[in-house]
Amino acid sequence: MIAAGQLIFSVAIFLFCFGALTFFTKRSAVVALMGIELMLNGVNLVLVQAGQIYKNAEGTSLVLFVTLVAAAEAALALSIFVILYRKYGTLTLENFRSLKG
């Protein structure tokens, strides 16, 4: 039978992979950002579980920092998306190809 730690690691891996897939395959920028948040959540889960396995508090401390950075980054990214939407009228990622080689 499956152990609790394996279950939680599996959930974390699922979250990470679904986040990565969302980020790479969605057309809308906002949904891609949601993928990033999912990835960060998967990482947080791994950190907390690893902290429990190694029996020290570093896991939780790192989780707090990751959460903080995720919050700041989501806020700023969404502000930038609002400005992009105002300027270009669309958030579909295919239209933003001017930097492509």
Partner 1 sequence: MNQATDLIAGAPTVFMWVASFFAIFFALIVFVSSNPISCAVALMGTLFSTAALYFSLGNFFVGAIQILVYAGAIAVLFVFIVMLLDLKPQKLKNLPGRFPYFIFSGLVAGLLALFLFRTIDLVPKGTEDTSASLLSATQYAQYFLSQYQVPFQAAGLLVFGAILGAIVLARGHLGKKERS
Instruction: Tell me the number of residues near partner 1 by CB under 8 A.
Output: 75
Which among 71, 73, 19, 22 has a CA at the least distance from the CA of 46?
19
Shortest Cβ 99–partner 1 spacing (Å): 18
Query: Closest CB to partner 1 among 73 and 100?
Result: 73
Check binding of 95 to partner 1 (CB under 8 A): no
Contacts of 9 (CB under 8 A, 6+ apart): 46, 49
Check binding of 71 to partner 1 (CB under 8 A): yes
Check binding of 49 to partner 1 (CB under 8 A): yes
Which among 65, 61, 67 has a CA at the least distance from the CA of 48?
61
Tell me which of 5, 88, 95, 96 binds partner 1, using CB under 8 A: 5
| Spatial distance between the Cα atoms of 6 and 13, rounded to a whole number of angstroms | 10
Shortest Cβ 101–partner 1 spacing (Å): 18
- What's the CA angle centered on 33, arms 82 and 101, to 5 degrees? 85
Residues 9-48 binding partner 1 (CB under 8 A) are: 9-22, 24-28, 30-31, 33-35, 37-38, 41, 44-46, 48
